[in-house]
Amino acid sequence: MAEAFIYDAVRTPRGRGKSDRSLHEVQPINLLTTVLRHLQQRNNLDTRLVEDVIMGCVAPVGEQGADIARTAVLEAGYAQTAAGVQLNRFCSSGLEAINMAAAYVMSGQMDLIIAGGVESMSRVPMGSDGGAMAFSPEIVSRHSLVPQGISADLIATKYGYSRHDVDTFAAESYRRAVDAQANNRFVKSIAPVVDDLGIELLGHDEGVRPGTTVESLGKLKPAFEMMGSMGLDALALMKYAEFDRINHVHHAGNSSQIVDGAAGVLIGSKEMGEKLGLKPRARLRSLAIVGTEPTIMLTGPVPAAQKALKKAGMSISDIDLFEVNEAFAAVPMFFMEQLGVDFSKVNPNGGSIALGHPLGATGAILTATLIDELERTGKGTGLVTLCIGGGMGIATIFERIN
Amino acid sequence: MITYTLDNTIAVIRWNMTTVPLNVLNDESIPQFVEALDRAYADEAVSGIIITSDKPEFVVGADLKMMLRNINLPKAEVFQRSKQLSQIFRKMETCGKPVVAAINGTALGGGLEITLASHYRVALDNPKTKLGLPEVKVGLLPGAGGTQRLPRMIGMQAALPLMVEGKDLSVQEALGMGIIDAVAATPDEMMEKARNYIAANPKPVKAWDEIDRKTGKIKAKDNAKIPSGAVYSPIGAQVFSGGTAMMLDKTKGNYPAPTHIMEAVYEGLLVNIDRGLDIEVRHFAQLATSKEAGNLIRTMFLGLNEANKGASRPKDQVKTDVKKLGILGAGMMGAGIAYVSALAGIEVVLKDVTADGAEKGKDYSRALLKKAADRGKMNPLAIDGILNLIKPTAHAADLQGCDLIIEAVFEKQELKATVTQEAEPMLVENGVFGSNTSTLPISGLAHASANPANFIGIHFFSPVDKMQLVEIIMGEQTTDYALAVAIDYTRKIKKTPIVVNDSRGFYTSRCFGTYTAEGMELLKDGVNPVLIENAGKLAGMPVGPLAVHDEVALDLSLKVMTESIRAGIMSDAEPIYQMVKQFNEMGRIGKKAKAGFYDYPTDGSPKHLWPGLAGHFPVAAEQPALAEVKTRLLYRQAIEAVRCFEEGVIRTKLDADLGSILAWGFPAYTGGALSFVEFVGVETFVAECDRLADHYGERFRPTAGLRARVGEKEAVAA
């Protein structure tokens, strides 16, 4: 079997997903063309060799609809022979795109692909695409489907994470992100977003808030308590009848931020790299996707990581560095607890709580961050994992080459 | 009978059924209705159609006896039949001529759906008229266009609660919601408004329809606008995502109808009305062949009606009428009985030991009447008349001339004997003496009576004004005459009687006791108490077994058990007895002590399970599945109901089922505690009981009688 190599990874900064923040004016298509243009320029890429552009997008409607990946290929000035496809596996879409691209390369069917994702959450709000999973009374009933915030609070309830525990985790995420930003650890991957006049709109992740502490987070109101009291807690507890209530610990400060952003990773075969004169930065060791119980929904990273490790013939201790998406603080906490991973190895530069989670792009952003950090620290192996709506988990293991 | 007359150019179709008490949609009326409609469609001279009724009501819905007969038909056949009716209604709105519903009285279910299919609805302003879609209450959905037309008329947000909760509306409420278009003060005005509409609207087209340019005929419009917003809109997210959760919080997923109603609206509003109507019928066919609908119709509609009419009354007894009632003991129960009796126009003598105590008992009625008046549910001018019927007293002499005396004093045999002997002589000749005991055997209490033939148990439930059931207990010597008096009285106060034979705990207390007992067994087995309580609620019981035990109080349980031990029908080695004793010794006797299985904080915060439970009953590492806990809780009650039936404690299956639902909240979707056996299937029930007995104890072992029924559809011989 052929091997899949990561030749480069680029992302936009994450702009806070509000109408008065930096990226709200930017069309999502432009976030994506920013990424494609930078990849082309940084690598002096002959785009005639790019076979496909696979882009995750979770709300592919309105201006994100109609196959935004193909739209971006044309708009970024790539050769028209490069195809484009948009996919949606909820929050893991960016990593799913990478895995699909890698699988194409490993199978020998394609040699050069760009994979990543985009989401302008300020312009196309989460949930804009509707879906029977959230709307159909029969489906919601049959499977006790609840919004993710309720699921995250259910994890905290089940595994005993107190409000103080999750706030402590979140404060550390902020501290690390502030530190990473101050030390320019993100600049290697960031492609600043500029307007048509060439004026820079945003060059850094906008959500990082210095001075965020357990105490300041402690003042925020639980975000899902009200929603839960209107039947949704009860719906979840129909399946989790061993609990009399859900402890609502998550809020805006310990859940992932709503942001705008895009990312792309250049993936290809060994031969293609040689042909292009590109040095591979990392090799994809194994990938895994799993389905899990959909009500608690967000526990998937654990079995996904186990599956990926098994495929790679590795054990958890072989992994030097983890990027576990901070959809909610309870998710990485659960991951570390279940797999016995030390916090020092997880999200060393902060995560989605401090930096934001542009749904379709995050998997690719985490991959870029992981590879940068492996290179910076000289560590060998890293694992990226995300929890996924509907009860799924994804994990991919990368090995540094440079 | 449905009549057809011509009023100039207007066809007037009048419902006036004579073979059934109320106008209903059934095999007789539907073809007649279609014939009349077809005649009007075909007659070119007819400019419009008015549908009304010659009876006080308009049309009250489908004939539920017919629905029950069809419950076992193949789903595809039910679909075809239901689709026919749906298309009959659809033709009303696409025929090209204006159709007006002149709603002279109550229009429910299919009756209201006739009006929704009309182009214009004018209702007589009658305060007694009820308008609504109550199908959900019998496990069905408004299957003749209700789920499709109502949301297309008033928006899904307004329409769904009416269908999911089945609430009735008054004429004025329906007008305010836009369900009807106009109100008339007199029948003449109603007909005039109907005619005026026809004159002004010769070719009406519904908002969800359009004229086909090629044929000139009315057809369904694709992408027709839904008032208040589409399914996939922020409103839709609220209605369907949030609304489903709120609905399930009530049904616990045990009642399929609300889910199907919501799904029919969700799916149906995504397509045009024609396809939506088909979708509705598909969901209707599923419900109309469901066990749950069969159970609700059989027990909670037809059965309840029968019981209320006195199904258990001895047929050969002449009608009796309690005009003057004596009540001994003006506590919670006595005061409640006084209230419901006075409401029914019965003269009540409410006797207590002191005049003050009796007056306090009357205060209970005062408070309830005031509350009803404050809520607009009672004419304030009627209050004094009702209160004047209640005479509080401390003198037994005031009981002179009572047709019936009910004692509601403390559950002490000696005390009950004393009050019986004191009051009985005051009865009219052949008067009846009733005891409101919940546990003491009636035959034993009857020893104190000079006339045990006229001594009977009349067991009310608390709170009397809310609880619909009365358990009537026959002592060894109680005559059918006394039973007739008790049933006639129960009917007069508009409650539902069931009749049981004398035995310890009778029927309701005995079976209900198994629910609380199994709750303790589970606790003893190391099952997480939260799981126990949730399993009870998710199975459809109104309250968890531990919480409800706290409500009835563990000192009462101890008393009952001690009596049972004394009577030799229970061993003091019984673990449940030991547990109850232990809780009594700890002073944790329940809610009234603010300590039982739960703690009841004095600061007003909600009760919570007592953390100390884990110390006494350590939670096992391995926990059973939710389904297993539910099974134990429900099967335990059902097998006890079977025993009661086989022992002759309860006389009819209907009484067993109704008693279980109305007295202690056994879930209605199962049809009742005895029908539960058929709900799961006799064979399955017996096999499960054997399995449970092997695992948890002989209390689950099926009876020989039940084993003999394996292979039969019915759990007991009818």
Spell out the SS3 assignment of B14-66: EECCCCCCCCCECCCHHHHHHHHHHHHHHCCCCCEEEEEECCCCCECCECHHH
Say which of A248, A250, A251, A357 is annotated catalytic. Answer: A357
Summarised one tens digit per residue, pLDDT across range A348-390 is 999 999 999 999 999 999 999 999 999 999 999 999 999 999 9
The helix/strand/coil state of B686 is: helix
Q: What is the pLDDT of residue B154?
A: 97
B459 carries an active-site annotation: yes
**Are A231 and B533 in contact (CB < 8 Å)?**
no
Q: How far apart are CA B659 and CA B425, in angstroms?
A: 33
Q: Which residues of B touch A (CB under 8 A)?
A: 231-232, 236-237, 240-249, 252-253, 259-260, 262-263, 266-267, 528, 530-531, 533-535, 538, 608-609, 623, 626, 629
A91 carries an active-site annotation: yes
**Are A244 and B252 in contact (CB < 8 Å)?**
no
E strands, B35-147, in order? 48-53, 99-103, 107-108, 120-124, 131-132
Summarised one tens digit per residue, pLDDT across range B466-504 is 999 999 999 999 999 999 999 999 999 999 999 999 988
Chain A residues with CB-CB distance to B531 below 8 A: 241-242
**DSSP β-ladder status, B182-184 and B218-220:** unpaired
Using pLDDT thresholds of 50, 70 and 90, give the confidence band for residue B376: confident
Asked whether the predicted pLDDT for residue B56 surpasses 80, the reply is yes
Rounded to 5°, angle at Cα A364 from A360 and A367? 150
Identity of the residue in B244, B538, B623 whose CB atom sits nearest the CB atom of A141: B244
Asked whether the predicted pLDDT for residue B439 surpasses 90, the reply is no
Q: What is the pLDDT of residue A234?
A: 96
Radius of gyration of chain A measured on its C-alpha atoms: 20
Chain A residues with CB-CB distance to B530 below 8 A: 241-244
Say which of B119, B283, B459, B549 is annotated catalytic. Answer: B459
Q: What is the pLDDT of residue B701?
A: 97
Q: How far apart are CA B675 and CA B294, in angstroms?
A: 11
Q: Rounded to the nearest 10 degrees, what angle do helices B545-552 and B554-566 cross at?
A: 80
- Min CA distance, A141 vs chain B (Å)? 7
Which of B160, B164, B241, B282 should one mutate to test binding to chain A, selecting the residue with the greatest count of A CBs within 10 A?
B241
Structure tokens at B526: 């190391």
Using pLDDT thresholds of 50, 70 and 90, give the confidence band for residue A60: very high
Give the residue from chain A lying closest to B261, CA to CA: A137
Classify residue B539 by its DSSP letter: T
CB-based burial label for B223 (10 Å; 0-12, 13-18, 19+): exposed
| B73-85 average pLDDT score | 97
**Are B538 and A231 in contact (CB < 8 Å)?**
no
| A85-96 average pLDDT score | 98
| A168-183 average pLDDT score | 98
Asked whether the predicted pLDDT for residue B411 surpasses 90, the reply is no
Name which of A78, A82, A81, A90 is nearest A35 in CA terms. Answer: A78
Q: How far apart are CA A48 and CA A80, in angstroms?
A: 8
Asked whether the predicted pLDDT for residue A10 surpasses 70, the reply is yes
Q: What is the pLDDT of residue B251?
A: 96
**Are B535 and A230 in contact (CB < 8 Å)?**
no
Q: What is the pLDDT of residue B438?
A: 86
CB-based burial label for B32 (10 Å; 0-12, 13-18, 19+): middle
DSSP collapsed to 3 states, B452-471? HHHEEEEEECCCCCCCCEEE
Mean of the per-residue pLDDT values for chain B? 96
Percentage of residues in chain B having pLDDT higher than 90: 94
Report whether B129 contacts B203 (CB < 8 A): no
Rounded to 5°, angle at Cα B178 from B175 and B182? 45
Residue B651, CA atoms < 13 Å, CB-side half-sphere: 15
Tell me the sheet residues that pair with A322: A346, A383
Using pLDDT thresholds of 50, 70 and 90, give the confidence band for residue B605: very high
Calculate the alpha carbon distances from B678 to B288, B489, B645, B698, B713 in Å.
Answer: 18, 33, 15, 22, 7
| B81-87 average pLDDT score | 96
Mean of the per-residue pLDDT values for chain A? 97
Identity of the residue in A136, A231, A244 whose CB atom sits nearest the CB atom of B245: A231
Summarised one tens digit per residue, pLDDT across range B505-564 is 899 999 999 999 999 999 999 999 999 999 999 999 999 999 999 999 999 999 889 988
- Min CA distance, A125 vs chain B (Å)? 11
Please report the number of interchain residue pairs, chain A to chain B, with beta-carbon separation below 8 angstroms: 82
Q: What is the dihedral of CA A305, A309, A314, A319, to 10 degrees?
A: -30
Asked whether the predicted pLDDT for residue B718 surpasses 80, the reply is no
**Are B263 and A136 in contact (CB < 8 Å)?**
yes
Q: Which long-range contacts (CB under 8 A, 24 or more apart) does B380-386 make?
A: B386/B342, B386/B343
Chain B residues with CB-CB distance to A232 below 8 A: 242, 245
In DSSP notation, A269-294 reads -HHHHHHHTPPP-EEEEEEEEEE--T
Chain B residues with CB-CB distance to A147 below 8 A: 241
Name which of B255, B84, B229 is nearest B166 in CA terms. Answer: B255
Q: How far apart are CA B463 and CA B331, in angstroms?
A: 12
Residue type for position B53: S
* Cis geometry, peptide bond prior to residue A301 (ω within 30 degrees of 0): no
Percentage of residues in chain A having pLDDT higher than 70: 100
Summarised one tens digit per residue, pLDDT across range B165-180 is 999 999 999 999 999 9
Q: How far apart are CA B597 and CA B591, in angstroms?
A: 9
Q: What is the pLDDT of residue B715?
A: 86
A357 carries an active-site annotation: yes
Classify residue B652 by its DSSP letter: -
Classify residue B226 by its DSSP letter: P
Q: Inform me whether the C-beta atom of residue A210 falls under 8 Å from chain B C-beta atoms.
A: no
- What's the whole-model pTM score? 0.94
| A265-278 average pLDDT score | 97
Identity of the residue in A135, A231, A244 whose CB atom sits nearest the CB atom of B248: A231
Q: Inform me whether the C-beta atom of residue A136 falls under 8 Å from chain B C-beta atoms.
A: yes
| B571-599 average pLDDT score | 95
Say which of A38, A57, A251, A387 is annotated catalytic. Answer: A387
